Amino acid sequence: MPVPSLFDIMGPIMIGPSSSHTAGAARLGKMAYKLAGGDIRRVVMYLHGSFAATYRGHGTDKALLAGLLNLNPSDERLRDSFQIAAEKGISYEFIPTDLGENVHPNTVRFVITDSRGETFEIMGSSIGGGQVVVSEIDGMEVNFTGERPIIITAHQDTPGVLSHITTLLFERDINIGDMRVTRSREDKSAHMYIELDSLCGQDLTAAIRCIPGITRVKLLLPIEESDVPGKENP
Amino acid sequence: MNASEILTACCKDSLLLSTFALRHETEQNGISEAVIRNRFDRMLTVMETSAAEARQNPVRSVSGLTGGDAFLYEQYRSASLLGETVSLAVACALSCSEINASMGKIVACPTAGSCGIVPAAVLAVSSSKGLDREKQINALLCAGLVGQIIGEHACLAGAQGGCQAECGSASAMAAAAVVELLGGSPEQSFDAAAIAIKNSLGLVCDPVAGLVEIPCIKRNVGGVVNALSAADLALAGIHSRIPFDDTVDALNRVGRQLPTSLRETAMGGLATTAAGIQLAEQIKQ
């Protein structure tokens, strides 16, 4: 391993008992919350591997739900998340399952329903020491770690949509770190995932929304957890 | 970066390990020394709380398997065999670990499972010797530096290297920290860290039901007592015949040689004893 930072060794400040099963789970929940735009009425969590086997004893269930309530991994309200969700009228369910052979042992698939009844699926894994990665968003393979901003779009599969978006990014001097496009042949719909090297504002999403053929845009900014010393900006 | 290079640098410029750690972090990651100190100050505050809470009021773990021992021990402590400093360290280690198991707030150092060792050593020694906050923060910086070397040349996760990588590393970090806290030299810190690793080598990670409770909570006690005795030897002027960097190499190789069943999978050791299996069954219901 390369030389770790002092803050990789000392910290994070977190709610126990496990960095991967509790702190990482809370972080995954928070990413799902952000990806869902904060509008969550119901969530079903499919737990895989070690998450499925030990989720009660590690408080993985409470931590996942706490993240979905926008709580940080260091927030002491983590352990009361069932009650807080009930107060907010958010329903939830945990289903231990098998998500497949090549799936990381600490993986969860969120199926989120928002207030308009639309559903949204996110799969992510806690890969050790509280670090997490989102591997799938609405069936699209991604590799989102919460460190860089991403844009996700749904659009009609027609020529020109991509060049419109890349032009908007170029005009703002924003470099693209990673980009994926997937499409469904049946209904001529497509999804795009763009990871950006630098921050952008909501004006960009507004501009993207105006592009002909775009049906949905989500901007996800880096996950900030000011209570976690190892994670905050210098 | 290894201990031998760090010692050369410290000797050349008469640096403490904590000063080296601060400068190195500033150079590597561009964070100012003031910001680093400030973050460590916040960690120290969380450590103080977690080291005290479960001694004052009994806490139970999420699974219900463990809890109440820090409270019990605190009641008994005035009669302890170990004397004020070591018994306080034992109590603090129990408290941090029980707070962790009860979904309370802790500082992972280096991991959540081993979160009691460094705070217990630093807080107990500071309390009995009346040392100030700045010295305590320096001790934590020194602990972090030792962990950085282990992280680079071996590993710090039970799933990779067994408990020796978690509680063993924490013990080495704590031993070096206590030496600096009590005015020992950087060389003595690494002697203490080497001795602590030597006394932890081969320790397996075999948690009952896969949870960070049995035996983790009591291994934090073993870890801090190991750290304090290693620091005491080094402060007496006793050297480790095997230098620290070599002990890290041994830790790394032993970790790789441990079978998967003894690396956090709950498929061996205490987890698969009759009692371990029974406890695991008990919480499934």
Q: Quote the ipTM score.
A: 0.96
For residues A92 and A17, state if they share a domain: yes
Looking at residue A131, its pLDDT comes to 84
Query: Residue B115: what are its φ and ψ, rounded to 5°?
Result: -75, -5
Query: Region B39-66: what's the mean pLDDT?
Result: 97
Question: A131 versus B111: which is more confidently predicted?
Answer: B111
For residues A14 and A87, state if they share a domain: yes
CA A226, CA B190: separation in Å to the nearest integer?
A: 33
For residues A114 and A163, state if they share a domain: no
Strand order in the sheet with A91-97: A91-97, A42-49, A106-113, A119-128, A131-137, A140-144
Report how many domains make up chain A. 2
Q: Packing angle between helix B69-76 and helix B83-101, nearest 10 degrees?
A: 160
Find out whether the peptide bond into B207 is cis, omega within 30 degrees of 0: no
- Which of B89, B273, B55 is closest to B181 using CA atoms? B89
Looking at residue A232, its pLDDT comes to 34
Across the interface, whether the CB atoms of B212 and A5 are under 8 A apart is answered no
For residues A154 and A138, state if they share a domain: no
pLDDT band, residue A229 (cuts 50/70/90): very low
Across the interface, whether the CB atoms of B147 and A9 are under 8 A apart is answered yes
pLDDT band, residue A190 (cuts 50/70/90): confident
Given A128, A144, A160, which residue is the final one in a domain? A144
On average, the pLDDT of chain B sits at 96
CB nearest to B105's CB, from A1, A4, A13: A13
Given A144, A171, A203, which residue is the final one in a domain? A144
Q: What percent of chain A has pLDDT over 70?
A: 95
**Which CATH class, in words, describes the domain spanning B3-284?**
mainly alpha
**Nearest C-alpha in A relative to B142:** A6
Assess whether pLDDT exceeds 90 at residue A215: no
Whether residue A129 lies inside any domain: the answer is yes
CA A151, CA A220: separation in Å to the nearest integer?
A: 6
Question: A4 versus B168: which is more confidently predicted?
Answer: B168
Looking at residue A1, its pLDDT comes to 65
Residues 6+ positions from A38 with CB-CB distance below 8 Å: A70
Q: Does the CB of A226 have a partner CB in chain B at under 8 Å? A: no
- Kindly list the residues from chain A whose CB atom is less than 8 angstroms away from the CB atom of residue B51: none
Whether residue A232 lies inside any domain: the answer is no
For residues A140 and A54, state if they share a domain: yes
Residues 6+ positions from B195 with CB-CB distance below 8 Å: B175, B230, B233, B234, B238, B240
- Which of B96, B93, B114 is closest to B104 using CA atoms? B96
Segment holding B284, helix H or strand E: helix B274-284
Query: Region A2-13: what's the mean pLDDT?
Result: 90
Q: Which DSSP category does A79 fall into? A: G
Looking at residue A228, its pLDDT comes to 43
For residues A138 and A178, state if they share a domain: no
For residues A129 and A198, state if they share a domain: no
Looking at residue A226, its pLDDT comes to 52
**Nearest C-alpha in A relative to B39:** A229
Cβ proximity of A57 and B212 under 8 Å: no
- Kindly list the residues from chain B whose CB atom is less than 8 angstroms away from the CB atom of residue A229: 39-40, 42-43
Query: Residue B15: what are its φ and ψ, rounded to 5°?
Result: -100, 150
Please give the residue range of the domain that contains residue A52.
Answer: 6-144
Assess whether pLDDT exceeds 50 at residue A39: yes
- Which of A65, A55, A62 is closest to B103 using CA atoms? A62
Whether residue A99 lies inside any domain: the answer is yes
Q: What percent of chain B has pLDDT over 90?
A: 96
Across the interface, whether the CB atoms of B212 and A234 are under 8 A apart is answered no
